[in-house]
Amino acid sequence: MKKILNYLPYIVVLIIQFLIDNYTIILISIILIGFIASFKIERKKVFLKSFVIAFIVFATIFLMYQSRVDYIKDLLVNLGLSSAFIYVFFPLLNALNTAILFFFGYKIGTLFTKKKGMSKEQAIEIVG
């Protein structure tokens, strides 16, 4: 159960990207979730975990739907780039974006807990 809770924020930031149709709200939500998560999740390799999970999910989604954006390959070639950049633009950039935003919120959160002089356990008590 604890493990599930530990990974829940990483999953939630992905789910909202499939539900919300407004990028500003998505952006703020990811940062906010990262912020709240800082009080709850294990403070180990947060950025890496976030990036790897996001990349696996987005790469899977991209492979499922890449025919929808095949024209981007033409666009890249016309701009003198390799069509392989499509994998950078979609799964990689999306995963990186998610990880950075999440980590940003998380770091702000850790700053907050440190300033208050709270331990992680205290923070968890307050938030949860």
Partner 1 sequence: MKTVKIILVVIVSLAWIFVTTFNLGPLGSLGELTTYKTGLLSVPLQNDGIREITSDHKLNIYVDDIGIPHVYSSSKNEAAYGLGYMHAKDRYFQMEMISRIVQGRLSELLSAQTLKSDKFWIPYEFEQKSIELLETYKKEEPEFYAYLQAYSDGVNTYLENNENTDPLYKALGETPRVWKTEYSLLFTWYMSWTLTYFDHHIEQQELLAELPEDIRDYFYPLQPDGMNTILPSNTVPPSVNVPNLGLDYSATASVETPNDDQSLFNLGDKLMSNHKFYQGIGSNNWVVNNAKTKNKGNILANDPHLYLTLPEAFYEAHLVTDTFKVYGFTIPGVPVIVSGHNDKISWGITNGEWDLVDRYKLQVKEDSLYLNDGKWVPFEVENYTIKVKGKSDYIQEHKSTVHGKIIKEGDDQYYAQHWYAGNKSNSVKAMYDVMQSQNWDEFTTSLRDYSYPPQNFVYSDVEDNIGIVCAGELPERNTDYVGQVLDGTKRYIPAKSLDSLWYDFNPEKKFLFSANQQPIQNNIYFGAHGLKDNYRAKRIHSLLEGNESWDVQEIQKMQTDEIDISFKDFKELMKNYTIQDEYTDIVKELTSWDGNMSDEANQALLYEILRNVSIEQAKQFANTKLQVNKEPSLQYFLKYLNDKEYTIPGGDNKQEIVNAIFAKTDSTLTHRYGNQWKNVSYNTMSEFTISNIMFIPGLGEKIENIGGNTNTININTETFHPVFRAVYEINDGQIQAQTIMAGGQSGMINSKHYKDQIEPWKKGQYKTVQFVNNPNKLENIKNIIKFN
CB of 121 to partner 1, least distance (A): 20
Q: What number of residues does the chain have?
A: 128
10 vs 103 by CB, closer to partner 1: 103
Which one of residues 1, 2, 4, 23 is an interface residue with partner 1 (CB under 8 A)?
Answer: 23
What is d(CA 56, CA 46) in angstroms, rounded to the nearest whole number? Answer: 16
108 scored as a contact of partner 1 (CB under 8 A): yes
103 scored as a contact of partner 1 (CB under 8 A): yes
59 scored as a contact of partner 1 (CB under 8 A): no
What is d(CA 89, CA 91) in angstroms, rounded to the nearest whole number? Answer: 7
* Nearest alpha carbon to residue 99 among 41, 30, 40, 39: 30
| Binding flags for partner 1, 62-101, as an x/- string (CB under 8 A) | x--x-xxxxxx-xxx-xx---------xx--xx--x--xx
Phi-psi region of 95 (alpha: psi -120 to 50; beta: other; left: phi over 0): alpha
Site size toward partner 1, by CB under 8 A: 38
With contact defined as beta carbons under 8 Å apart, do 98 and 14 qualify?
yes
CB of 100 to partner 1, least distance (A): 5
CB of 51 to partner 1, least distance (A): 13
Count Cβ atoms below 10 Å from residue 47 Cβ, excluding itself. 15
126 scored as a contact of partner 1 (CB under 8 A): no
3 vs 68 by CB, closer to partner 1: 68
Work out the end-to-end distance of the chain between its first and last CA atoms, rounded to an integer number of angstroms: 15
